[in-house]
Amino acid sequence: MMRSRHFGLPVLPMLMALVLASPALLEARSIPIPFFGKSACKEERARLGHEEKILRDRQRLALDQCRAGSGPGRGGCEDMERQQKTEQKRFKDRRKNTLDDCKNRGDAKNRVDAQNRDRKRR
């Protein structure tokens, strides 16, 4: 009987500390930590990938309709193909610029955070 009572005394404060500390730990784990800007840009990359897929599908459908309507010769759809290639190039350039900006924002934020940590240590 004595042993179980003595064993319970040190365990009770430890359990209370765990219960009190656990909400703070859970809250800290839910905060996303960007890793070199990759997490911050993940949604942007996914959105742009989705837009690119929609653009390709729309262009493929329009070109198929043009080819079906123009008959056996392909000459009537060459202008459309050139326009689509130009549109794809513009989209890829915009995508690259957007992701570069996002990455640069993440890198700048990481530099500012590092500078703030350094100032606090001094």
| CA–CA distance, 102 with 108 (Å, rounded to integer) | 10
DSSP symbols for 80-96: HHHHHHHHHHHHHHHHH
Contact 98, 26 (CB under 8 A): no
**4-57: per-residue pLDDT in tens?**
555 555 666 665 666 565 555 545 544 555 555 456 688 889 999 999 999 999
Average pLDDT on 92-113 reads 81
116 versus 56: the higher-pLDDT residue is 56
Say what the pLDDT of residue 10 is.
63
DSSP calls for 19-79: HHHHHHHHHHHTS---STTHHHHHHHHHHHHHHHHHHHHHHHHHHHHHHHHH-S--GGGHH
What pLDDT does 18 receive?
61
pTM (two decimals) = 0.55
pLDDT of 116 above 50: yes
pLDDT of residue 5: 56
Q: Which of 5-19, 77-91, 99-113 has the lowest mean pLDDT?
A: 5-19
